[in-house]
Structure 1
Amino acid sequence: MESQPMPVRRQAPTVARRRLAAEMLELRTTSGRSREAVSSDTGLSQGALHRIETAKTTPQAGTLNHLMDYYGVTDPEQRAAMQELRKRSKQLKWLELFEGGDLPDSYRTLASFEADAIRISDYESLFIPGLLQTRAYTETIIRTLLPEAPHEEIEQRLDIRMRRQETLTKPHPASLWAILDEAAMRRRVGGNQIYLDQLEHLLAAGQRPNITIQVIPFSTGAHLGMPGAFATLEFPEPDPPLVYMENAGGGLFVETDSEIAWYRNSFLRLAAEALSPQDTTTWIERAASAG
């Protein structure tokens, strides 16, 4: 594996880049021009246009001005707003420190979106949510799932996980609504002490005004969340929400309105079947006291 060339690392898309991409796509479709026509008229390749319109890359200032000229954008305020989006569309500064590692692009993307989110609704069936994990719990999971990973990669992933959690503690934090299957709560990841420390961490987190935690007990029986975990991330208007799902093969983002609506409704149904936040606190306290 070491003999293979390192893949080119793309910047993790941000909410600002998603909005800029949507604006650029809207300008082109409103003009009635195909990518082929725009490419022929402006000299910008169709591939470059596709990457800009799908938030895979951020255009240079000159390229953005050239395209706005071409599409007839003359309003100074609109032009300034789009250039501001371009400036803000770079990935997180702290995430840049971890460039060059073996982290999946989807994981970097999730970190950048979480930093911009105002609401996160996370259902987990087997793990404590990443934003609520202790460092020891996280390390155990990483070492179990990546038994051959070098020490440097494990430390990198740990540091990123801890930095991701800052979205819940910054001056204007995101709100987190976490629903956990009892299976995630019962599994003694890392042994008894790490398990108990994780429960205490959840109790402390649940006292914060921006965090809501609910447990779906085994007694509920079959429920809608059994197929797997998912999280919905919401952003300030006008940025659309998205859904993130993760499995052994990597992460997947869902952005279509109909699918997002399905996951939102599913989350609300899971919340209705779960213990209330107050009863969840009592449940966790009993689990911790039982050792």
Structure 2
Amino acid sequence: MNVRRSPTIRRRRLGAELRRYREAAGVTIEVVAEGLGCSPSKVSRIETGHNSATPRDVADMLTIYRVATHEAEELVQIAREARQKGWWHPYSAVLVGAYVGLEAAARGVRAYEQLVIPGLLQSEEYALALIRNARTSDTPKDIDRRVHVRLARQSLLTQEDPIYLWAVLDEAALSRPVGGEEVMLEQLRHLIEAQELPNVTLQVLPFAAGSHAGMEGAFAILDFPDQVDPDVVYVENATGGLFLEKEEELRKYHSIFDDLRALALGPDESTKLIESLVEEPLWRSRPRDSGST
């Protein structure tokens, strides 16, 4: 399984190029839609990378824009590649949005998490407990498929050409015994092991830091090896998440992440804190009167 081959990023790049050519030609989406015999919304979704386009559609669009033959041939080839199936395609029924496909093509991920361990760093039992309690309407089969995808994604960190991961975790994410004490202790040990990877940087934002720039919510910034593919920010929610790509949005989240990493403990101090939590978990000092989650 090669998780780095991603038709998602090809579709995103194709859409951006098609939009650039359309705007340079001074053609409206409505004119393109009429020429293709489709709705304007389809053209818009192709340009934003949400819909794939057939090579024929791309060729017809580029004809409308009067694009030179050799440039058109390159984009038609990208359209063919964008219609290939990623390794995650068989699991599309339990996936929402394009995050897995973008992550597979990324050079690196900078993530801030408030309440949970990032998916790339979750142990199997932690992932199972988390998904089981968050997806109460899912069938056992669907839950197993979600766990399988989450664990398959983690090969991005250890394969021959790994991505880098820089994660800032709020101390709260380390202090909630998801799955019960044994599962959570295993998860904490898993984080300590992951910190030893040369492409993983893990920092803990301690409770003592007080209020900070990231209190509005968790997010991930993905950047890509090719400069023609701009960064994207992913903000997750219960319905699948939101992708932010505007320059001002990217600047804001880059600034927030820089503030968070500056405020957080360094990697060595963070490891020591996690080790101390393995020995003396915070949840042991708090009364509990309900089942673990």
Tell me the TM-score normalised to structure 2 length. 0.88
Q: Distance in 2 between matches of 1:74 and 1:258?
A: 33
Question: Structure 1: any 5+ residue segments left out of the alignment?
Answer: 1-11
Runs of 4+ in 1 over 3 A off after TM superposition: 39-45
CA contact (8 A) 1:92 1:112 kept: no
Q: Which residue of 2 aligns with 1:125?
A: 114
CA contact (8 A) 1:13 1:55 kept: no
Q: Distance in 1 between matches of 2:46 and 2:122?
A: 35
Deviations 1:40-79 (A, max 9, x none): 4454543332232121222212222222223222242x23
- Asked if 1:17 corresponds to 2:11, the answer is yes
User: Using a 3 Å threshold, how does the CA distance of structure 1 residues 41 and 216 change in structure 2: closer, same or farther?
Assistant: closer
CA contact (8 A) 1:14 1:91 kept: no
Q: Distance in 2 between matches of 1:210 and 1:267?
A: 18
Of 132-141 and 63-72, more deviation after overlay is shown by: 63-72
Question: Structure 2: any 5+ residue segments left out of the alignment?
Answer: 1-5, 282-293
Q: Which residue of 2 aligns with 1:270?
A: 260
Q: Distance in 2 between matches of 1:42 and 1:152?
A: 41
Q: Distance in 1 between matches of 2:224 and 2:163?
A: 9
Work out the number of aligned pairs and report it. Answer: 275
Q: Which residue of 2 aligns with 1:8?
A: none
Q: What displacement does 1:207 show?
A: 0.6
- Asked if 1:68 corresponds to 2:58, the answer is no
User: Using a 3 Å threshold, how does the CA distance of structure 1 residues 145 and 48 change in structure 2: closer, same or farther?
Assistant: closer
Secondary structure at 1:212 match in 2: strand
Find 2:243's aligned residue among 253, 256, 262.
253
Q: Distance in 1 between matches of 2:240 and 2:209?
A: 29
Q: Which residue of 1 aligns with 2:291?
A: none
Q: Which residue of 2 aligns with 1:35?
A: 29
User: Using a 3 Å threshold, how does the CA distance of structure 1 residues 59 and 250 change in structure 2: closer, same or farther?
Assistant: closer
Secondary structure at 1:172 match in 2: coil
Q: What displacement does 1:149 show?
A: 2.0
Q: Which residue of 2 aligns with 1:88?
A: 81
- Asked if 1:105 corresponds to 2:96, the answer is yes
Percent identity among equivalent residues?
38
Letter in 2 for 1:138: A
Tell me the TM-score normalised to structure 1 length. 0.88
Q: What displacement does 1:261 show?
A: 0.7
Secondary structure at 2:178 match in 1: coil
Of 207-216 and 59-68, more deviation after overlay is shown by: 59-68
Q: What displacement does 1:165 show?
A: 1.6
User: Using a 3 Å threshold, how does the CA distance of structure 1 residues 60 and 287 change in structure 2: closer, same or farther?
Assistant: same
Q: Distance in 2 between matches of 1:162 and 1:31?
A: 45
Q: Distance in 1 between matches of 2:267 and 2:245?
A: 29
Find 2:228's aligned residue among 225, 232, 238.
238
Q: What displacement does 1:180 show?
A: 0.4
Secondary structure at 2:91 match in 1: coil
Q: Distance in 2 between matches of 1:147 and 1:33?
A: 48
CA contact (8 A) 2:7 2:86 kept: no
Q: Distance in 2 between matches of 1:90 and 1:206?
A: 36
CA contact (8 A) 2:96 2:240 kept: no
